[in-house]
Structure 1
């Protein structure tokens, strides 16, 4: 929490220093107007949304006319002011201009931008010296162009990231849809075969019908559970996802390929039952997290992959401790790599199977990724069959 507050405190301290500079350099008879207007416009432009309950457009429509009105009042005969014209006020207007260029809807960007530019460029006219006022106004015009350009550049980056997020989510949905389709097709085929077998033994071995019907019922229930997830995702035939055939063995291979990594299994984990699409999501989470440790934290002392269960959920944790080399940045492992898009893809996949994902830095350095996944009903009594997930592994 302290780290999150530090940038805000830094901005507040900078505003106070600039306002104090206005206080020291401004001259009568309208010094109070410069100071008050600077404080008000600065508050409108820079305070967080929870403090100023106005949309960004509303802030611009309030701050710019207020600044222009103050400038007009100080242009009256004998109302000019020497010294500072209001540095904090101009800086706040430029920040507001950049924010509008980044976030405001396109139809309103140009008029709001022109209004804020006019307010910022006109403020130096409050000074009695025409030459100094013209120089400052020209400098602020250039600064306004830079602020608008910077905001527009950030707007383009936001749009690119939004498109990338959509692409990552769609990719994960497509892969998961294929996993689910394969699982459902496998179970439906099994149900058909068992139903045919039930018809065949109906007359010759009726005592074997009851367990066979129970097996059909269980397979049908598991298939319906997966179908409920399937309706939330899209199917793509050429997706390349492959379901691990033995999850614990696959995880052991992943961990063995990473120096300093260790796999920790609580004993009940070996007996849990997972839906195949959940197995695939667990495998993907561990694979992605280990890859990011190698890529972003090569100095990590050790990486731990831990699986535990409470009988209802499976918890998967991947964390790396502090680096050997103090020069490595502590807690800097990005949660999903690729500029954060990996985390978005992981979250999409985990939540699509009714799971939860969390990622964040550890107190002593390093990074932790935690996924919580649902077990199949009767998850602690699996037999390693279809949908049985982890049972039967010799890891």
Structure 2
């Protein structure tokens, strides 16, 4: 009784997930199949044979309407079919003109679903049961000529459907793996965006706050003008962090691609460097590069290289007196370099260790590569990016 209730619930769930057009189409096909099964039953002269043909034809139809198959249901259907095939020749009047066409089609479709749905070991023995049940169906007929040819055709057809089910199983697996890879790539992109959007502005806030505390603790209270300037920088960095978060949330909530304004390398580098909370930044860009139209991926990568490099200066460098950002065209590629003359220090700021990793991934996704290391008198980060669309 419990299994019956679960089967009915599975059928209802199956219909709930269909659109009204699919429901109407499914209902019409089911009614047509049931009508054929009943017609096949009426064509049998004896009542026992007619009842067996109808029951064996309706059971696969009921199973096909379930959203999730059960191994017990499939094995039960195959067992009932084989049992009726065994007893058919012993009936007073065996079937003489049909062995169950709809039943054969139902068993064939069940084979495909079993191969797709179940694990290999369970699918193997269930497929064997269904294969055997379908193959021996012609043995129900009484004195039918050349029955061996009919069995050979059924064997070939069932073998083809097994291969079809294996192909569809492999296709579903590949699609699932591809979907997981896409989700992983998307997660990495979100992680990089969160780091780039938030870390830069929050680091500026922390650096400015530490500067105020350091100045005050040293007994050199800043003038009202200097204090107002520091607080204004903190306020501006906080506002920009909120704007960046809103922009990212908007992109995440909206499936349509955002429309980006036309940007040049000069404007991108200037926007990344203008809010730096450390020493003044010297920007040097080749005149022919400043206004040249570059690939969108290159501009995005260049912006993040400058922004992340400046953020790392606040986090990991001390005694910095000079910061330089340069961009040059080196034989068909764009070299963006950020250098400073500081020494390595933690500055008391937290670091997750993912900045350069994410930056390297972003640069590589744009078709370039990233180099970072000591220059002997400071630190340099260089990104080599494509300057033209491939």
Q: Which TM-score band applies after superposition, normalised by the shorter structure? A: 0.5 to 0.7
How many residue pairs get matched?
Answer: 237
Query: Quick check: 2:37–2:54 contact (8 Å CA) kept in 1?
Result: no
Cα deviation, 1:127-150, whole Å, max 9, x if unaligned, reads: 112435333322222221122122
Matched, 1:277 2:291: no
Instruction: State the Cα RMSD in Å.
Output: 3.4
Structure-2 change in CA distance of 1:277 and 1:13 (3 Å):
same
Structure 2 alignment gaps of length 5 or more: 1-18, 260-390
Cα deviation, 1:306-365, whole Å, max 9, x if unaligned, reads: xxxxxxxxxxxxxxxxxxxxxxxxxxxxxxxxxxxxxxxxxxxxxxxxxxxxxxxxxxxx
Query: Quick check: 1:121–1:141 contact (8 Å CA) kept in 2?
Result: yes
Cα deviation, 1:284-323, whole Å, max 9, x if unaligned, reads: x32289xxxxxxxxxxxxxxxxxxxxxxxxxxxxxxxxxx
Counterpart of 1:287? 257
Shift of 1:198: 1.7
Counterpart of 2:75? 61
Listed as ranges, the matches of 1:22-33 within 5 Å are 22-28=40-46, 30-33=48-51
Counterpart of 1:188? 202
Shift of 1:112: 0.9
Matched, 1:36 2:54: yes
Listed as ranges, the matches of 1:206-217 within 5 Å are none
Counterpart of 1:127? 141
Query: Quick check: 2:42–2:50 contact (8 Å CA) kept in 1?
Result: no
More off after superposition, 27-36 vs 168-177: 27-36
- Higher relative contact order, structure no. (Cα contacts within 8 Å, ≥ 6 residues apart): 1
**Structure 1 residue corresponding to 2:127, chosen from 98, 109, 113:** 113
**Structure 2 residue corresponding to 1:153, chosen from 167, 172, 181:** 167
What TM-score do the two structures reach when normalised by structure 2?
0.53
Question: How many angstroms apart in 1 are the aligned matches of 2:239 and 2:74?
Answer: 57
Query: Quick check: 1:26–1:81 contact (8 Å CA) kept in 2?
Result: yes
Question: How many angstroms apart in 1 are the aligned matches of 2:58 and 2:232?
Answer: 73
Structure-2 change in CA distance of 1:77 and 1:24 (3 Å):
closer
Listed as ranges, the matches of 1:339-378 within 5 Å are none
Cα deviation, 1:45-97, whole Å, max 9, x if unaligned, reads: 22234xxxx73322211100011111111122645221111112221111111
Structure 1 alignment gaps of length 5 or more: 226-271, 290-395
Query: Quick check: 1:37–1:67 contact (8 Å CA) kept in 2?
Result: no
Counterpart of 1:101? 115
What TM-score do the two structures reach when normalised by structure 1?
0.52
Structure-2 change in CA distance of 1:24 and 1:77 (3 Å):
closer
Question: How many angstroms apart in 2 are the aligned matches of 1:207 and 1:58?
Answer: 81
Shift of 1:12: 0.7
**Structure 2 residue corresponding to 1:7, chosen from 21, 25, 29:** 25
